[in-house]
Structure 1
């Protein structure tokens, strides 16, 4: 079970880091889109990016100390559930043009839950 937990943790950490870094630095189309389309402030976008980057670090360190990995996976999952709420509020699931990008938080929330469960079972 540890190998599954390690693979899920590393993959989720890579995705979290790739998603969080541009937001934390307020660079790229995603940060601009969150500010214009979703109406989020620059400070909130940066906070979300830092939370995602922290989750990536926690998931990697959690390979050696599972409680931290579990907390990071749960925290990242909660962040993704919040993203689903914002996408719902913006009407992204009803619009076929934005639905594809809005599905990512749902998938990542499920992967976060699977990662947390496998880390618990690997203890």
Structure 2
């Protein structure tokens, strides 16, 4: 297990966990755009739970690599869906935000598969 893999994986888990906590705590800078994009409020707890599960899975992947790979793929798919949602809402200036969160998850998957 390389140092780069550990650092990127922990960073991805912290970022996904922070994003999940922001949804759970209804941080205005997170939930206002969700409402503006047309995401139903009833989905918010599920979206937060998916991010929290992804964060936990990335950390578990440090011990069981296949779990980390699956969690990373799940997070990449989640944030790809977020990009699609932002584009469908025509808020093109917001596209970089989900990509920023997807990047360490994707890098973690790549590093896990190359180690």
TM over 0.5: yes
Contact 1:26 1:42 in 2 (8 A): no
Contact 2:9 2:104 in 1 (8 A): no
Aligned to 1:117: 110
**Which ranges of structure 1 fall in alignment gaps of 5 or more residues?**
94-98
* TM-score, length basis structure 1: 0.84
Find the aligned partners of 2:114 and 2:95 in 1 and give their Cα distance. Answer: 30
| Runs of 4 or more above 4 Å deviation | none
Contact 1:61 1:69 in 2 (8 A): yes
Find the aligned partners of 2:34 and 2:97 in 1 and give their Cα distance. Answer: 15
Higher RCO (C-alpha under 8 Å, 6+ residues apart): 2
Aligned to 2:19: 19
* Residue 110 of structure 1, CA deviation: 3.2
Find the aligned partners of 2:59 and 2:86 in 1 and give their Cα distance. Answer: 28
Aligned to 1:92: 91
**Which ranges of structure 2 fall in alignment gaps of 5 or more residues?**
none
**Superposed CA offset, 1:25-59 (max 9, x none):** 25121123312x01111221211111001111011
Partner secondary structure for residue 62 of structure 2: coil
Partner secondary structure for residue 27 of structure 1: coil
Aligned to 1:53: 52
